[in-house]
């Protein structure tokens, strides 16, 4: 079922959909036979909502595939993350809240160490502290070349985002990272004729950077990889007929939401309660809200089971504030799993709850991985959740007579 098919069936309605995404929500028990983070958490509000909802397990990208944050979000947003790939350079720029334009070419940058012969001795420049990186980024920002504008943004430690802006820039470019030490950085090469100009400009930038950084060992050179433009994504308004808002604190999620055409709202503060306050404040102005909770994933990746449980309980305690707004459809899910025992993202399907007054409720009064496995949504691609939500919001008309 492609967007073109769906688009023709979309009808306007006065209904509101709220999607609460706990990043990395899915988990695993600490010991065989035990409970997951979500099953351990005391979640009276989510459990009560589950009783009136259809439950299921979503597969973000495909069976066995562990998604990054970009693809994970595209999935639950309703896009096939394999079809709509976000290049690594574009993701890096999104991650630092850089407003990437449609013609900009972005790349991931590393400071690295080279010896007198120009051979790479450390691909990460000894993971220099972020403060030092920020100073070096200021140096790189002094580079000027006619016909193009460069942007350099510190990410963390040796990492920075690199963006070229100008007319006629293609992104079919090779990486400069030789992937091994003892080799020289590679020149950027164009893989298509439309990228010849980009290749030249990137190489000129690198040449000047090399001169500017000459005395700055261990960060005396740069490597660029993952050149990518912002992918042209169909927008929420066009494919779903939704005036959508995004509530997220971190740049990456704000960037992916912007990519699909959501208006990214300012959050006054960085706490989860601050995000719910933003939801309340803007409730009348949009018909779709995506609210992102980062802390579940942070705890999962840190291997901190108890902390992930606490974050889930915090979200649960805030749920009455959402329900008081009387949303027509509520989705509670994650963009992927991040089990504390694995200390990383994982491929496990994600517990998902879909509430509306028109849903065929499963009558299961517990929101957890094992209850969701018994739910009537089944095990489904994450991208299928949005059409079901739209149907429940009475925003899809009948197909055929």
Residues lying near a copy of itself in the complex (CB under 8 A): 1, 5, 9, 26, 28-29, 32-33, 36, 51-52, 57, 61-71, 81-82, 85-86, 88, 91-92, 95, 342, 344-349, 357-358, 360-363, 369-370, 373-380, 384-392, 396-401
Judged by beta carbon, residue 86 or residue 265, the one nearer a copy of itself is 86
Judged by beta carbon, residue 6 or residue 173, the one nearer a copy of itself is 6
Judged by beta carbon, residue 190 or residue 386, the one nearer a copy of itself is 386
Minimum CB–partner distance for residue 381 and a copy of itself (Å): 9
Q: Sign of the C-alpha dihedral, residues 9, 11, 17, 21?
A: positive
Separation between Cα atoms, residue 50 and residue 376, nearest integer Å: 12
Q: Please calculate the CA angle 46-240-296 and round it to the nearest 5 degrees.
A: 35
Minimum CB–partner distance for residue 141 and a copy of itself (Å): 24
Judged by beta carbon, residue 107 or residue 385, the one nearer a copy of itself is 385
Minimum CB–partner distance for residue 172 and a copy of itself (Å): 17
Judged by beta carbon, residue 168 or residue 363, the one nearer a copy of itself is 363
Minimum CB–partner distance for residue 74 and a copy of itself (Å): 9
Judged by beta carbon, residue 9 or residue 143, the one nearer a copy of itself is 9
Q: How many other β-carbons are positioned within 10 Å of the β-carbon of residue 285?
A: 11
- Specify whether the CB–CB gap between 333 and 75 falls below 8 A: no
Q: Tokens in use for 165? A: 């802006």
Minimum CB–partner distance for residue 184 and a copy of itself (Å): 26
Minimum CB–partner distance for residue 99 and a copy of itself (Å): 19
Judged by beta carbon, residue 283 or residue 347, the one nearer a copy of itself is 347
Separation between Cα atoms, residue 23 and residue 292, nearest integer Å: 7
Q: Tell me how far CA of residue 384 lies from CA of 77, 106, 179, 292, 370, in angstroms.
A: 9, 30, 38, 19, 20
Q: Please calculate the CA angle 325-246-39 and round it to the nearest 5 degrees.
A: 70
Minimum CB–partner distance for residue 124 and a copy of itself (Å): 16
Burial of 254 by CB count in 10 Å (0-12 exposed, 13-18 middle, 19+ buried)? buried
CA nearest to 182, candidates 115, 126, 127: 115
């Amino acid at each position: 079922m492609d967007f073109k098919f769906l688009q023709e069936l979309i009808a306007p309605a006065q209904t509101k959909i709220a999607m609460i995404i706990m990043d990395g929500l899915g988990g695993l028990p600490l010991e065989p036979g035990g409970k997951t983070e979500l099953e351990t958490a005391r979640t009276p509000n989510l459990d009560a909502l589950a009783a009136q909802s259809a439950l299921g397990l979503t597969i973000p990208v495909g069976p066995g595939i562990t998604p990054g944050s970009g693809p994970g979000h595209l999935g639950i947003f309703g896009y096939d993350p394999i079809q709509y790939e976000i290049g690594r350079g574009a993701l890096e720029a999104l991650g630092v809240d850089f407003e990437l334009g449609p013609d900009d070419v972005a790349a991931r940058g590393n400071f690295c160490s080279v010896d007198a012969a120009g051979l790479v001795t450390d691909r990460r420049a000894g993971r220099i502290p972020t403060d030092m990186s920020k100073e070096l980024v200021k140096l790189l920002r002094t580079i000027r070349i006619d016909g193009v504008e460069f942007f350099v943004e510190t990410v963390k430690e040796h990492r920075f985002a690199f963006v070229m802006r100008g007319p006629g820039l293609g992104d079919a470019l090779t990486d400069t990272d030789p992937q091994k030490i003892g080799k020289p950085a590679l020149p950027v090469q164009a893989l298509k004729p439309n990228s010849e100009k980009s290749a030249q400009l990137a190489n000129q930038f690198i040449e000047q950077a090399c001169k500017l950084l000459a005395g700055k060992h261990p960060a005396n050179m740069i490597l660029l990889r993952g050149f990518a433009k912002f992918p042209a994504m169909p927008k929420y308004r066009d494919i779903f007929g939704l005036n959508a808002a995004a509530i997220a604190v971190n740049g990456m999620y704000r960037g992916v939401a912007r990519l699909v055409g959501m208006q990214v709202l300012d959050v006054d503060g960085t706490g989860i309660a601050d995000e719910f306050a933003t939801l309340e404040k803007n409730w009348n102005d949009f018909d779709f809200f995506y609210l992102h909770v980062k802390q579940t994933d942070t705890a999962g990746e840190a291997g901190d089971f108890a902390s992930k449980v606490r974050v889930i309980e915090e979200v649960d305690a805030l749920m009455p504030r959402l329900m008081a707004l009387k949303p027509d459809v509520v989705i509670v899910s994650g963009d992927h799993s991040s089990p504390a025992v694995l200390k990383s993202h994982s491929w496990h399907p994600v517990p998902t709850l879909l509430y509306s007054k028109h849903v065929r409720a499963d009558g299961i009064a517990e929101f957890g991985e094992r209850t969701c496995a018994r739910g009537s949504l089944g095990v489904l691609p994450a991208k299928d959740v949005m059409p079901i939500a739209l149907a429940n919001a009475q925003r899809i008309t009948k197909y055929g007579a």
